[in-house]
Amino acid sequence: MLRSMLKLIFAKLLPARAGETPFWDGIRLPGGLFAQTRCARRIDATARRIADMGMKIGTLSGRLNAGSIPGMVDADGSLRRMLCELKDDLAVMRRDLALWRTRECRGQAGQRLEAAIAHLNRIAADTHAAADQLVRQIEEYDKARAHCGS
């Protein structure tokens, strides 16, 4: 649609001379570039949300290390279940993103999109590792609190 609109604009602004083909006839517009930029922006927004989750996980982990949380952190196990679900969601997201890149981009994307995908993968991997570590910390913390009786 964008290509046809641009051709119309060029046709109005630069009318072709009789018998000549317009200069824009062989021009190929970078339609995929616009789509890739839009995808990269969405991927960057997702990466920011995941990074925020990672910071919250890091904050709780720091509080556990400092021992500043009285009593048990997760007596009913709901926080650990949510962290495990987050880890599963991150793994599925990374897998789906790799499949999408292979299917839609045929393994080759523009520099901006490749950078966004790589950035999201790094953040997702770091957040997955932080969530895994926090699950272990919570188990150890609650086990120690249950053993001490406080």
**Domain assignment present for 5:** no
Q: Report CA torsion sign: 59, 64, 69, 71.
A: positive
**Domain assignment present for 69:** yes
CA gap 49, 73 in Å, rounded: 24
Range of the domain at 106: 30-148
**Domain assignment present for 8:** no
The whole-angstrom distance between residue 72's C-alpha and the CA centroid of its chain comes to: 33
CA gap 150, 148 in Å, rounded: 6
**Domain assignment present for 7:** no
**Domain assignment present for 58:** yes
Q: What is residue 86's predicted lDDT score, i.e. its pLDDT?
A: 96
Return the structure tokens found at 30. 């970078």
**Domain assignment present for 118:** yes
Of the listed ranges 16-25, 69-78, 126-135, the least confidently predicted one is 16-25
Residue type, 125: A
In this predicted model, what pLDDT tens digit does every residue of 2-23 receive, in sequence order?
555 556 555 655 555 555 555 5
- What is the domain-level CATH number for residue 57? 1.20.58
Q: Which ranges in 1-150 belong to alpha helices (H)?
A: 2-13, 31-66, 78-105, 111-148
**Domain assignment present for 21:** no
DSSP-based three-state secondary structure for 136: helix
What is the tally of structural domains in the chain? 1
Residue type, 59: T
Q: What is residue 29's predicted lDDT score, i.e. its pLDDT?
A: 41
In this predicted model, what pLDDT tens digit does every residue of 22-38 receive, in sequence order?
554 544 445 577 788 88
